[in-house]
Amino acid sequence: MGTRNVPLSDFGVYMKKGEDWDYKNPVWSLVGYSNPLSRIKYGKVPTGFKEGTRRRKLRIGVPYLAMGFSGGGHGSVEFIIIEKEGVYHIRKTDKPRS
């Protein structure tokens, strides 16, 4: 599956609290509207957005959910941060949903 460029109206990263996603307390969120994007870099605010919630440091081994919204729907992906030989990586923990 390839990467699609999509316009976004909102974007957020949420931490899992117990068995549920903590949607009320994002670890980072963006509000506004973007031209079509193919990716977002954590902590970097794309043109057309403002930070709704300032980014917090992501922790190793903690489940996160990244979710983007557009006029036509939304998509999300679950991930964790892992450390391998002193380098931090993102590992998807599910298939992207849309």
Whether pTM > 0.75 for this model: the answer is yes
Residue 4, in any domain of the structure: no
Quick: pLDDT tens for 38-64.
888 999 999 889 999 999 999 999 999
Instruction: Domain count for the chain, please give it.
Output: 1
- pLDDT of 15 > 90? The answer is yes
pLDDT value of residue 2? 47
- Position 5 in a domain: no
The residue that leads in pLDDT, 63 or 2, is 63
Determine the Cα–Cα distance for residues 94 and 19; give it in Å rounded to an integer: 15
At residue 95 the predicted structure's pLDDT band, cuts being 50, 70 and 90, is low
Contact of 44 with 30, CB cutoff 8 Å = no
pLDDT of residue 60: 92
Determine contact, residues 62/80, Cβ cutoff 8 Å: yes
| Residue-number span of the structural domain to which 22 is assigned | 10-92
